[in-house]
Homo-oligomer: A and B are copies of this chain.
Amino acid sequence: MTDVRDRAMMARAIQLAWRGRYSTHPNPRVGCVIARGNVILGEGWHERAGEAHAEIRALSQAGPSARGATAYVTLEPCSHFGRTPPCARALIDAGVARVVAATKDPNPAVSGRGLELLIEAGIQVEVGVLADEAARLNPGFMKRMNTGRPYVRLKMAASLDGRTAMASGESQWITGPEARKDVQRLRAISDAILTGVGTVLADDPSLTVRRTELGDIGDATEPSRQPLRVIADRDARTPPTAKILHGGNVQLFCASSTLPTAPAQDLAALGVSINGVAWKDNGIDLSELLDALGDLGINELLVEAGPTLAGTFIQEQLVDELWLYQAPVFLGSTGRPTAHLPLESMADKVSWIVRDRRQVGDDQRLILVRS
């Protein structure tokens, strides 16, 4: 049982944290409220890596009134010197009497250290207020700290009869403009977008966030960069002219044996980061790839790929959320399948839980998780 006021203040801190949805990566989204009783003295949220943490901004707004107040923070205050001084120290120095944290730091190496510092300084500490809600701010950061891998969202656009393109490959446009805008917002909260070289060769997508299509982002901090573009490309066949290479910030994952070849060298000369990973019969070794992306600080990975790569993600149970945009059309039985997924019997079927279902223009968006 937590206090109603504590929950209300934490809800506000979570709101503030969400303002950083497009901008904090690779850091987590964090919000902070400094309050005395029902009066909010300071509010802050983390905007960008390298800039002030949420606590520092809230303390700065509160000024000397922070002395004896309560600090509500969506994540355990940090205890270490990173690019900024530790927030736990700042809270102690400001003289707050009480700190309420929604969740501990998920990083096993430092979890609890910030809270300990506060307790040692005589500050009253509580943890767990709106813990689930706060954790949902940062599914990728939480997962990466726990497993070393990003949180994986697989995005698909399909017809009601389960087709993503005609047999010829023609696919523009299955879904309507509102759904495509929604995908822009999905890209903007992602740290990286993964596709396969087949999609690059067939569709030549840029896979960028077009700021104008995000529309009015309200009080959110402006996106600070394009998501990293990641290409699974065994033989480094990505053409140097591909749109996805424009603007840089591209990681290419090819077979280790491809690394010394001329195509890989050409792409490296264009500024593309080239990585070698293992490949298996059914394509890239996704476990290795996800580990590597975790090492690169990717919290939230969006997969926008063709049926082969998408099918492998589903078959290997590596999808945390499937975002399925369904258009109210039939593309016919000769169209391309939603995902390459050879299953033998009903017992093999892939069952989903519908976490969210909503209308987006004429289309419907489902957010699915494995049941």
Partner-B contacts on A (CB < 8 A): 158-163, 166-168, 170-172, 174, 307, 311, 314, 324, 326, 328-335, 337-346, 348-354, 357, 364, 366, 368, 371
The distance from the CB of A91 to the nearest CB of chain B, in whole angstroms, is 45
What copy number does this chain have within its complex?
A: 2
B328 touches A349 (CB 8 A): no
In the bound assembly, the distance between CA atoms of A348 and B307 in angstroms comes to: 22
Residues of B within 8 A of A350 (CB): 329-330, 332
How many angstroms from the CA of A213 to the CA of B174 in the assembled complex? 38
Tell me if B333 and A337 are in contact (CB < 8 A).
Answer: yes
Q: Is the CB of A329 within 8 A of B351?
A: yes
> Quick one: which of A168, A338, A349, A357 has the most chain B CB within 10 A?
A349
Q: B314, A330: Cβ atoms under 8 Å?
A: yes
Task: Let me know if B160 and A324 touch, CB within 8 A.
Answer: yes
**Apart from A161-B338, A172-B346, A329-B350, what are 8 other A-B pairs with CB-CB below 8 Å?**
A160-B324, A160-B338, A168-B344, A170-B346, A328-B354, A330-B350, A332-B348, A333-B338
Whether the pair A328, B343 counts as a contact (CB closer than 8 A) is no
Interface majority SS (helix, strand, loop, mixed), chain A: loop
Verify A346–B166 contact, CB threshold 8 A. yes
Q: List 22 A-B contacts (CB under 8 A).
A: A160-B162, A160-B368, A161-B162, A162-B338, A166-B346, A168-B344, A172-B346, A314-B330, A328-B351, A328-B352, A328-B354, A329-B349, A329-B350, A330-B339, A330-B343, A332-B349, A332-B350, A333-B337, A333-B338, A333-B342, A334-B341, A334-B344
Docked complex Cα distance between A18 and B353 (Å):
36
Q: Determine the distance from Cα of A307 to Cα of B332 in the docked complex, in whole angstroms.
A: 11
